[in-house]
Structure 1
């Protein structure tokens, strides 16, 4: 049973990566690893910034 659970968790992580749902977590990891002096953006600020950047610089995406 545990191999099924591990498989489902792996699949869920894979889908989140494709959809970009894990972007905030990756941003926090990068922010901490890079040694930025200022505080990290909040999750709301992060998503607003991401959407604003995509709107001002559209690239190939589905929608």
Structure 2
């Protein structure tokens, strides 16, 4: 049973990674590590800026 639960959790995490679920947290870690004086955007601001860039540069997105 533990193996099944572990496999489901791994699959869920992997799927989330593909969908970008972890992108904001990785970005915040990057800012805090490399740019400690930079203001950290809210998650909403992050996604809005990310998709605004994709709209102005369609080559930046995968689909």
Structure-1-length-normalised TM-score: 0.81
Aligned twin of 2:27: 27
Structure 2, unaligned stretches of length 5 or more? none
More RCO (CA 8 Å, sep 6+): 1
Q: Mapping of 1:11-50 within 5 angstroms? A: 11-50=11-50
3-state SS of the aligned residue for 2:58?
A: coil
Contact 2:24–2:46 (CA under 8 A) maintained in structure 1: yes
Which digits, 9 at most, give the CA deviation of each residue in 1:7-48, with x for residues without a partner?
Answer: 111111111111112211111121122133022110010000
- Structure 1 stretches of at least 4 aligned residues deviating more than 4 Å after TM superposition: none
